Amino acid sequence: MKKRIKLAPSLLEADYRFLDKQLKMMETVGADSVHIDVMDGTFVPNLSMGMKMIQSIRQSTKLEFDVHMMVQEPHRFIKKMAEAGSDVITVHFEACKDLTGTLNSIKKEGKKVGLAIKPETSLDVLTENLLMPIDVVQLMTVEPGLEGQSFIPDSINKISEIQKKLHEIDKSADIEVDGNITMDNIKQVVQAGATIIVAGKAIFSGDMVENIRKMRSLLDTL
């Protein structure tokens, strides 16, 4: 059976006045998970949401919470993120001194393990040993932490390369793309092998319901 491509609206672009309503609505119209960007002002030059907010909005929806930690040494917060209601906890390759230990601590909390890589990080770092415990490989298709950037075209090749690496070691994991995914490039990223689509502006600019419906129908044809 064809695998369903997951659509994950990125809350960074949501209208926080109506978060509860928007979360309930996105669940009804075809979102699969909620992408939550956690920024620490050190790993990335910005601040965003944290545990308290995640815990609070956990009551608004049953959608999977896909927590993207743009945080230096995220191992300090894994337990709290898990307790707050995260389902997938993604840490950055570039942010961890003890990457294996950090990934293990996510697994120990019973959560799905995500590993994100920045655009300039070589895919050579994705060795068999590293990939084995991972549920989601998240490729940044813009530089994390900054708004208003363009999708990096070379990402398409990188998605295929990640898919190839997973295939070579017979490992099944999702490939998530994050950063300026729109109706114009969504088809290309899925055809290259992406299985989780994060979208911020493309969903929250204008009519959220209409935007999710359009993306969902396009994804269902791919």
At its nearest, how many Å lie between Zn ion and the CB of residue 187?
A: 21
Q: Mark whether 184 is an active-site residue.
A: no
Q: Candidates 5-13, 73-81, 101-109, 210-218: pick the segment binding ligand DX5 (CB under 6 A).
A: 5-13
Q: Candidates 58-66, 119-127, 193-201, 212-220: pick the segment binding ligand DX5 (CB under 6 A).
A: 193-201
x-or-dash pattern for ligand DX5, window 95-134, by CB under 6 A? ----------------------------------------
Options 15, 32, 37, 207, the catalytic residue: 37
Q: Does 138 bind ligand DX5 (CB under 6 A)?
A: no
- One residue of 68, 92, 111, 118 binding ligand DX5 per CB under 6 A: 68
Burial of 136 by CB count in 10 Å (0-12 exposed, 13-18 middle, 19+ buried)? buried
- Binding partner of residue 179 among ligand DX5, Zn ion, none, CB under 5 to 8 Å per kind? ligand DX5
3-class DSSP state of 135:
coil
Q: b/e map of 111-120 (b: 16 or more CB within 10 Å)?
A: bbbbbbbbbe
Q: Mark whether 37 is an active-site residue.
A: yes
Identity of residue 62: K
Contact 123, 158 (CB under 8 A): yes
- One residue of 200, 208, 212, 219 binding ligand DX5 per CB under 6 A: 200
Retrieve residue 54's tokens. 């995640």
Retrieve residue 211's tokens. 């935007």
Q: Does 199 bind ligand DX5 (CB under 6 A)?
A: yes
Whole-angstrom distance, CA of residue 35 vs CA of residue 179: 11
- Binding partner of residue 211 among Zn ion, ligand DX5, none, CB under 5 to 8 Å per kind? none
In the beta sheet, which residues pair with residue 88?
A: 66, 112
Output the CA torsion sign for 200, 202, 204, 208.
Answer: negative
Q: CB 166: neighbour CB atoms within 10 A?
A: 20
Residues lying near ligand DX5 in the complex (CB under 6 A) are found at 10, 12-13, 35, 37, 68, 142, 144-145, 178-181, 198-202
Q: Give the active site residues.
A: 37, 178
